[in-house]
Amino acid sequence: MDYLQGLNPSQRAAVEQTDGPVMIVAGAGSGKTRVITYRVAHLIQKGIDPFNILVLTFTNKAAKEMRERIMKVVGNEAKNIWMGTFHSVFAKILRVEAHHIGYPANFTIYDTDDSKSLIRSILKEMQLDDKLYNANFVYNRISAAKNNLISAAEYQKNAQIQAEDQSGGRGNLGQIYQTYSQRCYKAGAMDFDDLLFKTNVLLNQHPEVLYKYQTKFKYLMVDEYQDTNFSQYLIVKRLAAINENICVVGDDAQSIYAFRGANIQNILNFEKDYPDLKVFKLEQNYRSTQNIVNAANSIISNNKNQLKKNVFSENETGDKIKVVRAFSDNEEGKMVAENILQDRSLQSLRFKDFAILYRTNAQSRAMEEALRKLNIPYKIYGGTSFYQRKEIKDLIAYFRLTFNPNDEEALKRVINYPRRGIGDTSVERIFIAADQHQKSIWEVITTPQQYLDGRTAAVVYPFGSLIQSFQVLAKNNSAYDTALHIAQHSGILKDLYEDKSVEGLNRYENIQELLNGIKEFSEREDIAEKGLDVFMQDIALLTNDDNDKNPNADTVSLMTIHSSKGLEFPQVFIVGLEENLFPSQLALNSRTELEEERRLFYVAITRAEKKLTLSYATSRYRWGTLNNCEPSRFIDEIDPRYLALDFSAPTASKSSGDDVFGKARTAWSQPQSQDIFTKPKPKVVPKTTSILPKAHQPSAGFAPSDTSNLQVGMEVEHERFGFGKVINLEGNKPDIKATIFFKELGQKQLLLKFAKLRIVNN
């Protein structure tokens, strides 16, 4: 078995242990994907039928990469493995089994926009304040409930949840959840959370269905297990209950998705579910230099709630991690951009070798401005997905109606696009008639003369007939032929073609690109079913990282740290390393929250292969106010042996008895586990001491002086730069420039009319 020869001893042991419960703790850059793919290939080589293997991932991209690698070992048999994201695999099962829980096999999958649109409609109907009941808040509340398997009925019966809603002035949340669930059911639709929630309902209430899939999936593997939520945990546990041939792979040090329901306890407590568990630790990092790996280890060692492992690297020692201080976020961006140009030139690198990571999306502005000024091409990850663009969603809404005419959100989107005289008043009459006669919206539209006045019926009937003609066509034609016909006869192509603006042309080209994608889908040889409904299911389940149309473009990558997980780059800049920004001010209420922020920093560090730069600003605008900033505690937590401080002036001297990087730790009590609907008690986690330079604190009563008679040799104070001495003056009033040597920062040149200096002495 040649494929086993390239594995290190730990990897090989994990691959060959095929039976019983197994946990593979995979450190960053340790070859996790290789182990998963070879383990599946090894199962098939041992004679296990691929149809009996289930592999669950968190992205389609990961599943596609694994399947391709497995095919290289076992050939086309890899096509028969049940492999995909949690949502795609269980959507596939629900298509077959949904009738058990009262759903049609052709149920629509609502994306986030569909769900929020429906919520806004419900809020309007209930005449609720959409500021108090913000659609995003309501959506997230319902999502959290579903991920914790709390139904609408249970939500309204739970005294603790109801008390919290009442105290927040949102006592109608339970009723909104109930109405939302009913409307989705009536429309034959499930949202993303339902795909897991309804799977749990199905497996719990129908033991014959559970047994069917327990006996089918004799071997289960779960990637990124540290990112599973309660709903996913229960599904996996139920499916593995008979055979217990379950293998989970993950790294607790990279658990960073608590905000979307991930529960790190799933991996920390896995042994409690399976006492005879075999644990394998992949500890050799093949990605990064020794300095980067050692720095990451020194950071994560501060977390108490973790599975212990000793990650190491046998790569070159590499450069020390550079720590850069800027005076503002704009200067920080300028320094990063200049560093990229310099290193690209000196080391013959490409722009795609660089990544800039930040804690929040808002931080991209300063970086973008700096890159643009130096003509550095860049791409921001996490922007508008191709499938979220208006024209794409419009055409897909027609596709959705073709296969599920009860889809209320799709109907509202296109019933009058392109314009056909069915205005808001007519739509309202349709909904009222459906409610009064206890009929579906579709029944009213297809037989409008029975329920609507003459004029409304006259404009509505042709639309119903149009959708019916699409339904007939779809039964006997390929995905591409059906899609092209709908694009032409719906009027969308004509409407966009007639818009000769640049935006109109782009939208028309986007529709063409969608049709190209459907054509490509229609010609795929690796799938048997090629109908338009199958294509729609594929795109409905795309994850955020699946839409990169040109991954080989030579551009600098900008992204949040959350978006960077799973990626790697030769050079990485982690910017905005300031207290209350990273770690976030919102994450300082408990040790649990702080430890997740530290894991996020660990993920950021381990994206770097060759060189890592950390930067922070001593001042940053927030909500229009300039704030002084303090360096992040995370910089202090890195062992100083792996750091190279790059400041323009000497740092403060070390106080006697102080550890140079603040190694004294504050003892924290272990917080009690929190219910997802219970807010933790405010308790700010203190920051340890640091000798990294802090922003200057202006003298009491600081006020700028009249500098019209400023002279060389005078001592001055600047609000941000501190105390300095004037060493040169040049130019004429009112544009005199002063060169000042500041004690902490070195030489700076300032325009006096803007400088706001306080003259200390004459």
Instruction: Using CB atoms within 10 Å of the CB of residue 122, give its burial: 0 to 12 exposed, 13 to 18 middle, 19+ buried.
Output: buried
- Asked if residue 26 belongs to a known ligand binding site, the reply is yes
Query: What six digits make up the tokens of 80?
Result: 């028969």
Question: What tokens appear for 530 in the block?
Answer: 């090629």
User: Which of 170, 169, 204 has its CA nearest to residue 97?
Assistant: 204
Does 98 show up as a binding residue in the annotation?
no
Whole-angstrom distance, CA of residue 411 vs CA of residue 424: 12
31 is in an annotated binding site: yes
Identify whether 254 is a catalytic site residue: yes
Active-site choice (11, 32, 599, 606):
32
Separation of alpha carbons 141 and 157, rounded Å: 16
577-596 core/surface letters (b: 16 or more CB in 10 A; e: else): bbbbbbbbeebbbbbbbbbb
What distance lies between CA 383 and its chain's CA centroid?
A: 11
Give dist(CA 489, CA 3) in Å, integer.
Answer: 53
Catalytic residue among 33, 45, 265, 555: 33
Q: Quote the Cα angle for 460-463-466, to 5°.
A: 155
- Identified catalytic residue from 85, 179, 254, 606: 254
Distance CA 487, CA 491 (A): 7
Burial of 135 (0-12, 13-18, 19+ CB in 10 A): middle
Q: What is the DSSP letter of 436?
A: H
Phi, psi of 626, rounded to the nearest 5 degrees:
-80, 120
Beta-sheet strands, E only, within 178-307: 189-191, 219-222, 246-250, 278-282, 284-285
Given 111, 194, 224, 443, the catalytic residue: 224
Q: Residue for token digits 């779960």?
A: 222
Please give the span between the terminal C-alpha atoms of the chain, in angstroms, as a whole number. 84
CA 582 → CA 329, 357, 452, 544, 565, distances in Å?
14, 12, 59, 23, 17
Nearest CA to 743 out of 727, 723, 762, 726 is that of: 723
708 is in an annotated binding site: no
Distance (Å, whole) CA 666 – CA 654: 20
Please give the helix or strand (H or E) that residue 754 lies within, else none.
helix 752-755
Residue type, 627: N
Give catalytic status of residue 33 as yes or no: yes
CB count within 10 Å of CB 474 equals 21
Residue count (the chain): 762
Measured CA to CA, the distance from residue 576 to residue 585 in angstroms comes to 13
**Cβ pair 191, 119 in contact under 8 A:** no
Q: Which of 422, 425, 424, 400 is nearest to 410 (CA)?
A: 400
Flag whether 28 is marked binding: yes
Q: How far apart are CA 265 and CA 634, in angstroms?
A: 24
Give phi and psi for 378, each to the nearest 5.
Answer: -150, 165
Q: Are 735 and 753 in contact (CB under 8 A)?
A: yes
Of 635, 556, 60, 732, the C-alpha closest to 324 is: 635
Any catalytic annotation for residue 607? yes
Look up tokens 């504050």; give the residue: 666
284 assigned to active site: no
309 in a known ligand binding site: no
Task: Please check if 576 is assigned to a binding site.
Answer: no
Is the preceding omega at residue 418 within 30 degrees of 0, hence cis?
A: yes
Quote the CA–CA distance of 735 and 550 in Å, as a whole number: 49
Question: Which residues, in sequence order, are bridge partners of residue 82?
Answer: 54
- 11 in catalytic set: no
Q: From the candidates 97, 165, 223, 394, give the one annotated as an active-site residue.
A: 223
Among candidate residues 61, 198, 334, 607, the one labeled active-site is 607
Q: Is 730 a catalytic residue?
A: no
Binding residues for ATP: 26-33
Positions marked catalytic: 32-33, 223-224, 254, 607
Annotated binding-site residues read 26-33
